[in-house]
Structure 1
Amino acid sequence: MTVFGCRICDTALTVPVSRVALPVHANQKYGNGPGSLAPALEPGTFAVNPLPSGSPWRRWAELEAGEAEALGWYAPRFSISAGPVGQVLLAPGDVHGAVIDPALVGDSACCGLDGGEPNMVCVTCGAPVAIRIDDCGLRQATWLDPLTTHVLEDGPGPHPVLDWADLIDQRPGIPPSEPGGGWHPMWAAAAASALAHLLAASGGDPISIPNHQVAKVFRPTLDRLLDPGSTGPERTLVLAGPDIPDTGGHFALIPEHPQTGELWPVAPPVKPIPLAWDAWRYLAFHRTPKPVGRSVPIPPEALPALLPGHRFEPDGQIFLSVLARLPEVRQPRLRAIYDRGRPYSYTYCSF
């Protein structure tokens, strides 16, 4: 099992937890409430951010040549973190031994805690050890500060790693619509990341999507972002992954293992386009029950929709953030998309 504690006094700060991959929606801001979003992680799990986080922040205009690329950014941002790596994400209920210190709570949030800097302290020694977030439209989360916390006990934890077959059986994915009929925020984040990778891999060529459910998620935004006058060869995006027959295609929408972060392998020259497991699993295997008593097959387009009826909008902030971390964004066509979207980065991909 893995238990984290205070680096100053070794007080335990978490229950035993198992490591999982950092989800793309870990830092998501979606809408404006009321209230916060569900935690990014399931209870009993933790994820590690491999990127710099927190102070100090560097203004893009102040960076020397090559500094941004060394930190993994290939397109301008207002500012980027030059802080420590290794910030640990947990579901808030898995943290104990730490409390919110009112003196450390800033006044920039709306109705809760926005977590710009540590606002939780160790109950034993008072060291600032974590950031608690629960403000409107933000993911509920606790982030452990890597400078003041460390691993007390290291082990596999309560959740064993599943193979791909067990994932299919035990983790059926997340439906795309919420009870009110809107798109689920996780889908907005997952699709935004996949779109950034797809555009980077496409070279600007037209893309066809035979699967009509996949097309409903990706087609509207692709039609807005790809050049309609492109004379390049049309390329095909298909689903690939465990228990999916090989159907060819130039790009394969493949699952990311939610625990290890491993990508389903595809053979060159097919280019992999990663998609969060919970969205991929639903697109690949969920089927609406067919009406009983019919002998005439129903074409797929006539079946009840698996996805919400209104047009899907990916998460603009996540789309631009993922795109900015891909070297391909320096290509003129992608840089134009990025620059066009930056003014709208706190809403959707309305380019």
Structure 2
Amino acid sequence: MFACAGCGTELTAPVSRVALPVHAYYGAWEQLHPPLMEPATYAVEPRPSGPPWRLWDEVGEELAAEQGVYLPQYCVSFGSRGAVVIAPGDSRGMALIPEKCAGHCMGIDGRDGPNLACEGCGRAVATRMDDCGLWQTVWLEPAAVRRVPSGLPAVPVPGWDELVLESYAVPPVELDGSWSRRWAAAVPVALAHLVVACEGRPVALPGPLAELVGATAGCLPAGPSVLTSGLAGPGTPVPRSGADVLLVPRHPVTGEPWRPAYGGAPSVVPLDIGVWAHLVLPGETSPLPASGTLPEGVLRDDYPLPLRPRHAFWPHHRAFGNTLACLPGIRRPELRTYYDRYART
């Protein structure tokens, strides 16, 4: 758990570390969101995050690169590294600071910096965010908190063969027919990694993904495909067709991408495990009973039809460009040309 670094007041329930979700900063505008983190978990942002922000023109390319930003952006964060995010329901011993609770029409957006104070000593220790377009979170200030033992046994990190993939799969369409907000963020994040892995050359998406997201609004280089990509991961063999790049799941706890056991394998591109699992797991397709057959002349009318989106897939408007700008490989000349042509359209 985490406690106040000043007075020792407990600020969270017992929590276990997992990977920071790739959709952490990408939500749907004017929509309320659920918590970003699962109960009893936390994640760490290794990059600078939050205020203070400085405009690109006053920062310059060299200093921005030190902050992990390699292409021009409107502004660059000079906030603390190592911010800890938890679900709001796991927070303890904190109270809102009323004068720091600015936001828009639906909640608090964290624009004023830390807005939660330790109830023990009054020190500002965290930022609650729950406005429209934001996943509900509490971000603990790394310098204001410290980790303390909870007394509970440590949760072991599962191996790839221990993961129950069905429990991670996220369908691409919500019940109301809209595209999943997680898919809208996770797909362009993966495509940014794919562009860098392919050095800006046109690449064909694997069939299941291409059928769902199509051209993804011009994220990938235009022109006839010169490279191919495939899906691979635990329980899914590497395609025999010899894909140039593999889209593989990102481990839900460590955040590391799955890699083939043998050497000399193609490059791998990490994909949100929820998206990856949906693409590779077999779906239910038969309306027949689990055993036996329907009586002759009887038609099944209670079988749920698959959800269909109301419109073509449209990636989150910032996820692709922001991810691309934070990948060091984008500084290669051939990729800078690609970025100038595609990412700013």
Instruction: Please report how far the alpha carbon of residue 339 of structure 1 lies from its aligned counterpart in structure 2 after TM superposition.
Output: 4.6
Unaligned 5+ runs, structure 2? 295-304
Check conservation: 1:192, 1:316, Cα contact below 8 A. Answer: no
Change (3 A) 1:332 1:244: same
How is 1:91-130 mapped onto 2 (pairs within 5 angstroms)? 91-106=87-102, 108-116=103-111, 117-130=113-126
Cα pair distance change 1:210/1:133, threshold 3 Å: closer
- For 2:281, the aligned partner's letter is F
- Report the Cα distance in structure 1 between the residues aligned to 2:222 and 2:152, rounded to whole angstroms: 48
- Offset of residue 38 of structure 1: 1.3
- Worse-superposed segment, 327-336 or 51-60: 327-336
Contact preservation (8 Å) 2:174, 2:180: yes
State whether residues 217 and 315 of structure 2, in contact with CA within 8 Å, keep that contact through their aligned partners in structure 1: no
Indicate conservation of the 8 Å contact 2:177/2:307, yes or no: no
Q: Is the CA contact 2:183–2:275 (under 8 Å) kept in the aligned structure 1?
A: yes
User: Equivalent residue for 2:301?
Assistant: none
Q: Deviations over 1:5-44 (max 9, x none)?
A: 11111100000000001111112231322xx211111000
Partner SS state of residue 89, structure 2: helix
CA deviations 1:70-90 (Å, max 9, x no partner) are: 221110111111222111000
Q: Against the structure 1 CA distance between its residues 219 and 198, is the aligned structure 2 distance closer, same or farther, given a 3 Å change threshold?
A: farther
Q: Show the 5 A alignment for 1:160-239.
A: 160-169=156-165, 171-211=167-207, 213-221=208-216, 225-228=220-223, 234-239=226-231
Identity of aligned residues (%): 40
* 1:285-311 Cα deviation digits (max 9, x unpaired): 1413234379xxxxxxxxx86864632
SS of alignment partner, residue 153 of structure 1 = coil
Task: Give the unaligned 5+ runs of structure 1.
Answer: 295-303, 344-350
4+ residue stretches of structure 1 with deviation over 3 A? 154-160, 222-225, 266-269, 291-294, 304-310, 330-343
| Equivalence map 1:122-161=2 (5 Å) | 122-153=118-149, 159-161=155-157
Contact 1:111 1:135 in 2 (8 A): yes
CA-to-partner distance for each residue in 1:220-246, whole Å, 9 max, x for gaps?
127564232x6xx72111100001122
Distance 2:106 2:307 in 1: 35
Q: 1:48 to 1:210 in 2, by over 3 A?
A: closer
Tell me how large the CA RMSD over aligned residues is: 2.6
Does 2:29 align with 1:31?
yes
Q: Which residue of 1 aligns with 2:36?
A: 40
Name the structure 2 match of 1:299. Answer: none
- Asked if 1 retains the 8 angstrom alpha-carbon contact of 2:14 and 2:150, the reply is no
Task: Name the residue aligned to 2:11.
Answer: 13
Task: Give the Cα separation in 2 of the matches to 1:65 and 1:111.
Answer: 36
Does the aligned pair in 2 maintain the 1:16–1:157 contact within 8 Å? no
The residue that corresponds to 2:20 in the other structure is 22
Q: What is the distance in 1 between the residues matched to 2:65 and 2:329?
A: 12
Structure 1 window deviating more from structure 2 (241-250 vs 282-291): it is 282-291
| 1:270 is aligned to 2:266 | yes
Please say if 1:240 is aligned against 2:229. Answer: no
Residues 62 and 224 of structure 1: is their aligned pair in 2 closer, same or farther, counting only changes over 3 Å?
A: closer
Structure 1 pair 250–220 and aligned structure 2 pair: CA distance change class (3 A): same
CA contact (8 A) 1:44 1:158 kept: no
Contact 1:10 1:152 in 2 (8 A): no
Q: Contact 1:44–1:159 (CA<8 Å) still a contact in 2?
A: no
